[in-house]
Chain A
């Protein structure tokens, strides 16, 4: 199927117009999972009653001063190390000045020309910079608009104010809406696994804006970009970028120009509306924050950050699963992006290979989603009754055709409930594969042929599609224990259609 036939919003098909190439950069804000706020001792919270975690500093009261949260700095350094960034031994905080009720000092303490981290990479996208800053308060508006303009009344909840944030800015290395979504998933899992954030878009601990432009394929110049805001889920991110790419290409094709502006994505309508230019026309008047001294990253802090990182990051692990173990890219990410699954898988693989060197990683890996489905998608298999050794044993039995795939699923169900040794369960429950004629398979096949003479006649005449009901009969009668391949062989043999 070509892209031209894709329905609007169809995932991944970026462009009906192959002559244009999208160029996308992301700007990501991540709330850090520190115990306390960026510049004061108030607890970082979510969902607590409004204004219950505040103090003179995060309320911006006269005379209050900021003090840098060293844990947040360490998290920032960990992120920098995970992205292989250059980490500044000395960086600066600046004041970013603007008036808004969610910004009680009327400036945000952020970093400007000397950020904590620079020039890194995550997967196929280069990281421009990573810097530390503080979150704003949360505004709630009463009124139809749901926004401050036209609100009957507005409240400010300062619980969020001062929550530590890192801002991550990528280079414009992304070339499709789908890639943006995939890459952001990798970023989320990286940050989750290094333990610095909950990275939950629905709760706002991960927020992403996108800079989008398009250019003729083959061109190396950047087109005029627009900035997209408010894409508060992975799906909306992809939809928003896709819609913007299509809008820009439409403009260019019609001989019009893209105007540099900030657009607000409305997930309900899928539309992009420009933010009022007044809200945009900021001169932030950055200058070095005189209430803070330069931020120093000592070798000790750097070492502590390094120490706290996991031995292997999820993207690296996915690459290893794919290249060394032969897993599909999708399966590799599925496992690597949940550390507990990947750990379980690797433990099972080690146990299985110890028992029998012929265990195929791909086959074993295919059992993990089934296990997850049975224990519940949020559960950790390492804490289930199914030991990695048992799962590997089951996979090996399937491979050795000692148990059919269907019967193995039943064994797995029993393992999940009672634990134990799969071989024992197979024996106890009589779930072993019926793989030979003399084991009664021949008799079952004959009963199937007798039960459905029409199907048998069609197969005899060479219509192999008709074999399904016959195989189904055998499988049903054998409670799934029959070896499907052998059943097919025997039916064909009996009906002279081999």
Chain B
């Protein structure tokens, strides 16, 4: 039985197609594991496989997928980790989830997350924190912490999450798995409960790069319900590259120097990975992203501004939590929102509301948009002489629960290396590049818009060379024994 659960998504799908594996059996095995989840990774687990078995030709062959709570799933609780959506079961399913279901990946369960995707540690969830399977005293990262922990612990073959400023890549890094944020617009946002509309993207969290490519292939594509979605130039191929011959890797000084506060252990793994890349035939050189140090500041104006509007609909009138009173409409609004939102969400709503207010708009939101444009220009320039950019995904490894909750600014620094790509709307992937003091370190590769195939090829070659020792049994064991060091 547990051997089944060691298979990657792609391998399990191949076994199903070869007639060696019954997908319903696989579903039940994962369901059982997910239901016994001790990491608080799941907020809801399916009762069983869907009534109708997958079509024999379905490319994802009935391999179940764990879905971040942020995605709307018809009739299934979808709370975005928030109390304000208590009891909310949407009448419709997000496009990305529907596409995966059509491709033969049924819903295994919904995964825990930071409330409305606001956070980098999964400590801002109405469902409580998720524990890191490598060390249960530590955070899994966030906001897609539940998806990352579930995949890392082998509670799900693969998962999807969302990334606004790093919410797929950073937890993937902290949990030792692969996480990919696609080009903005590659995946439909229809049915994804919005945090910051101009930044939010869905993406896969998987055990390896091949799985990321396979899952992504069935997530992308223009959706007539999302005006900002686009077709990729071609289908996502499964990567095969064994080397990096001729690939020009740029290491941005601004993101890897002292400003980001990269931990020595992380730097060490990162530099070792760069040497491996050179060994595979890549050229590695320093590059410049002059405006990248301002990315976090711009991000923490733009994202809260959009969030302040996106979250205004949670007013107690139509769905979710409602705290009535006898003091009329305004009081009902205030009580509902006061009780339903957590402190980080409230903080960002306040920030965003302020940034958009009359008299401050130009200074804050307007300036932030200008910075965003400059950052995108920086990347365009760099990609004139480099194929891909490479950085550590997170400046540090998984930190202890509660270590940064008292200091929001310290928490925001988690996204120092991931936010610039989000602002530029370009794709980026995080792969494990080794352990530092027993905890996984992530390496981020980023490319120009729609370069997902190139990104996946490079990540695949590097993954093989790195040979990260984080196979599912080890992870499962880690989950069972409370981590190993």
Contacts and interface: CB of A to CB of B under 8 A. Distances in A.
Interface string B296-334: 000000000110110011110111000000001100010
A280 to B, nearest CB: 14
B315 A99 contact: yes
Given A62-B90, A101-B329, A107-B312, A290 B197 contact: yes
B312 A65 contact: no
A67 B314 CA distance: 21
B312 A97 contact: yes
Contact of A56 (B90, B308, B309, B356): B90
B78 interface: yes
Given A62-B80, A156-B317, A290-B306, A283 B357 contact: yes
A285 B90 contact: no
A285 B356 contact: yes
A290 B198 contact: yes
A293 B425 CA distance: 15
Contacts of A61: 72, 90-92, 319
B227 A106 contact: no
Contacts of B365: 287
B224 interface: yes
B466 to A, nearest CB: 37
Contact of B356 (A101, A156, A287): A287
A62 B356 contact: no
Residue among B90, B224, B317 having the largest count of chain A Cβ atoms under 10 Å: B317
Residue among B189, B197, B312 having the largest count of chain A Cβ atoms under 10 Å: B312
Q: Is the interface of B mostly helix, strand, loop or mixed?
A: loop
Contacts of A106: 309, 312-313, 315
B338 to A, nearest CB: 14
B312 A63 contact: no
A65 B357 contact: no
Contacts of A287: 305-306, 309, 356, 361, 365
A68 B328 CA distance: 35
Interface string A274-312: 000000000101110011110000000000000000000
Given A104-B318, A285-B353, A291-B228, A62 B358 contact: no
A56 B226 CA distance: 13
Contacts of A67: 224-227
B383 interface: no
A63 B80 CA distance: 10
Given A56-B91, A95-B309, A62 B78 contact: yes
B312 A62 contact: no
Given A99-B315, A106-B313, A63 B193 contact: yes
Contacts of B94: 63
B455 interface: no
B228 A293 contact: yes
B30 interface: no
A59 B315 CA distance: 13
B60 interface: no
A285 B351 CA distance: 13
A476 interface: no
A183 to B, nearest CB: 32
A106 B306 CA distance: 13
A64 interface: yes
A60 B313 contact: yes
B190 interface: yes
B227 A66 contact: yes
Nearest to B359: A283
Given A65-B226, A290-B306, A59 B318 contact: yes
Nearest to B306: A290
Contacts of A64: 92, 190-191
Contacts of B358: 283, 285
B317 A56 contact: no
A64 B353 CA distance: 22
B194 interface: yes
A413 interface: no
B319 A148 contact: no
Nearest to A107: B309
A149 B198 CA distance: 37
A63 B313 contact: no
A118 interface: no
A283 B191 CA distance: 29
Interface in B73-98: 78, 80, 85, 88, 90-92, 94
A292 B227 contact: yes
Nearest to A68: B227
A110 to B, nearest CB: 13
A56 B78 contact: no
A160 interface: no
Contacts of B313: 60, 62, 104-106
B192 interface: yes
A52 B17 CA distance: 45
A60 B318 CA distance: 9
A63 B329 contact: no
Interface string B184-214: 0000011111101110000000000000000
Contacts of A60: 313, 318
B370 to A, nearest CB: 14
A267 B108 CA distance: 60
A70 B61 CA distance: 39
A411 B85 CA distance: 74
Nearest to A283: B358
Nearest to A287: B356
Contacts of A97: 308-309, 312, 356
Contacts of A105: 312-313
A62 B228 contact: no
Given A63-B90, A63-B191, A285-B357, A99 B227 contact: no
Contacts of A148: 329
Interface string A339-370: 00000000000000000000000000000000
Nearest to B366: A287
A407 to B, nearest CB: 66
Nearest to A67: B227
Interface string B158-194: 0000000000000000000000000000000111111
Contacts of B309: 95, 97, 106-107, 285, 287
A62 B190 contact: no
B333 A99 contact: yes
Nearest to A59: B318
Interface in A50-109: 56, 59-68, 95, 97, 99, 101, 104-107
Contacts of A291: 189, 194, 197, 226-228
Nearest to A293: B227
B317 to A, nearest CB: 5
B189 A65 contact: yes
A325 B377 CA distance: 64
B397 to A, nearest CB: 33
Contacts of A286: 356
Contacts of A56: 90-92
Nearest to B312: A106
A68 B191 CA distance: 17
A287 B369 CA distance: 11
Given A68-B227, A97-B309, A99-B333, A62 B189 contact: no
Contacts of A293: 227-228
Interface of A: 56, 59-68, 95, 97, 99, 101, 104-107, 148-149, 156, 283, 285-287, 290-293
11 contacts: A60-B318, A61-B72, A62-B85, A62-B88, A63-B192, A65-B190, A68-B227, A99-B312, A283-B357, A287-B356, A290-B198
Interface of B: 71-72, 78, 80, 85, 88, 90-92, 94, 189-194, 196-198, 224-228, 305-306, 308-309, 312-315, 317-319, 328-329, 333, 353, 356-358, 361, 365
The 4 closest A-B pairs by CB, nearest first: A106-B312, A290-B197, A290-B198, A285-B356
Given A149-B328, A285-B358, 14 more contacts: A63-B90, A95-B309, A97-B312, A99-B315, A106-B312, A106-B315, A148-B329, A156-B318, A285-B308, A285-B356, A285-B361, A287-B309, A290-B228, A293-B228
